[in-house]
A = this chain, B = another copy of it.
Amino acid sequence: MSPQGKNHEYICSVEAAINEIGGKWKSLVLCSLKDGTLRFSEINHKLPDISQRMLTKTLRELEKDRIISRKVYPEVPPKVEYSLTSKGESVIPILDSLCEWGKKYGASEENWEE
């Protein structure tokens, strides 16, 4: 995500927002973190269909955008905890709204020709 990097003029800031929370997994990872800190394996457990590779990648992107924070415990075996930053907390209500919206207009009973 955020392919444009720094110098890109957004027509509207929704674009910026979608870049940060869009994609296949970001919103789900954020939702899974909304009840508190989780370890890597715990997120993976909540999202069984995501691969380790994609989970890592998604977490790195969210971290880079300061939406989540990553805390490493220098132990053996490794322990890493992920949690929402204040920026991350602030987007949760919006994700909740989206969730409600998605539930209300179930993306499922319409038309599909294929």
Interface residues of A (CB under 8 A from B): 2, 5-6, 10-23, 27-28, 31, 46-47, 49, 64-66, 87, 90-91, 93-95, 97-108, 110-112, 114
Q: How far is the CA of A14 from the CA of B31 in the complex (A)?
A: 9
List the B side residues contacting A98 at CB < 8 Å: 13-14, 17-18, 21, 94
Copies in the complex: 2
List the B side residues contacting A93 at CB < 8 Å: 97
Chain B residue at smallest Cβ distance from A8: B108
Chain B residue at smallest Cβ distance from A85: B105
Q: Are B13 and A99 in contact (CB under 8 A)?
A: yes
Chain B residue at smallest Cβ distance from A105: B87
Q: How far is the CA of A65 from the CA of B110 in the complex (A)?
A: 7
Beyond A12-B31, A94-B94, 10 additional contacts (C-beta under 8 Å) are A11-B47, A13-B99, A16-B106, A16-B107, A18-B21, A18-B98, A22-B22, A66-B110, A87-B105, A90-B105
